[in-house]
Homo-oligomer: A and B are copies of this chain.
Amino acid sequence: MIDLPFSKNSNTPLYIQIAKSIRLKINEGKIASGEALPSERELCELTGASRVTIRKAVDKLIDEGLLWRKQGSGTFVSERIEVQTTHLGGFTDDARARGEEPGSIWLIRNYANPTREEAEKLNVPMSSAVARLGRVRLSGGEPLAIEHAVVVASRLPPIDEIEDSLYAALEIKGKRPQQGRQKVRASLASPTEAGLLSIQENSEVLRIERLTWLDDGTVIEYTRSAYRGDRYEFVTDIN
């Protein structure tokens, strides 16, 4: 039986404390991937909180992609990181939202001219200066993705100042994108990608192509990524 510490005297809302405790149990391996949590009613008993509060805490973890639910069956720890294809977040934000420490290994960080394709996507002349930012992205010390971003240089601070979050850097210039479109495809990892991701060659990867822009239509970022196919799935809600 698990223990879920929290404090009623805390200024932090109860549901946030409970969510944090559950997240910690999962990250510690106390509740394994694929396993079910105690039922909502059981979590009420464990914490003394109401079912509505418990549901709100679990809702939060579901939004983070850590859990999923099935009526009549239970609440389960996700086996893959779910990312909404409509979600305009960055790797860094997503990792932190999951309670994991983001990291980067730089592959490419320089200025260049765009290729014809990149210029078309970014809606700039081929003579423009763009920043090429290629990185292996880590979460909790584990390589999960490779990203190659191309950004119009004038919309970024100097590239040497970029740390983990490209979006945080864009924010500094008031250029954090608000809209975008991304395409997701299944593929096999190349030998290079496999090496960088510490996966076997020919493992399935998810290839993502993303284009983002401001509300006024200014194109900001064209990014091509490969995410580990065994660790990610991209979810699209159908309305």
19 A-B pairs with C-beta separation under 8 A: A10-B35, A10-B36, A11-B35, A11-B36, A11-B37, A11-B38, A11-B39, A11-B74, A12-B34, A12-B35, A12-B36, A12-B74, A13-B74, A16-B36, A20-B34, A185-B187, A186-B186, A186-B188, A186-B204
Interface positions of A (Cβ within 8 A of B): 10-13, 16, 20, 34-39, 42, 73-74, 76, 185-188, 204
Residues of B within 8 A of A10 (CB): 35-36
Min distance, Cβ A46 to any Cβ of chain B, angstroms:
12
Taken together as a complex, chains A and B put the C-alpha atoms of A12 and B32 apart, in Å, by 11
Min distance, Cβ A11 to any Cβ of chain B, angstroms:
4
Min distance, Cβ A142 to any Cβ of chain B, angstroms:
22
Min distance, Cβ A58 to any Cβ of chain B, angstroms:
13
* Structural contact, B188 and A185, CB atoms closer than 8 A: yes
Residues of B within 8 A of A42 (CB): 11
Taken together as a complex, chains A and B put the C-alpha atoms of A20 and B32 apart, in Å, by 13
Residues of B within 8 A of A20 (CB): 34
Nearest B-chain residue to A39, judged by Cβ: B11
Residues of B within 8 A of A34 (CB): 12, 16, 20
| Residue from the set A12, A20, A36, A42 with the largest chain B CB neighbour count within 10 Å | A12
Residues of B within 8 A of A204 (CB): 186, 204
Taken together as a complex, chains A and B put the C-alpha atoms of A42 and B13 apart, in Å, by 15
Taken together as a complex, chains A and B put the C-alpha atoms of A13 and B204 apart, in Å, by 29
Besides A13-B73, A16-B34, A186-B188, 11 other CB < 8 A contacts?
Answer: A10-B36, A11-B35, A11-B36, A11-B37, A12-B35, A12-B36, A16-B36, A20-B34, A186-B186, A186-B204, A204-B204
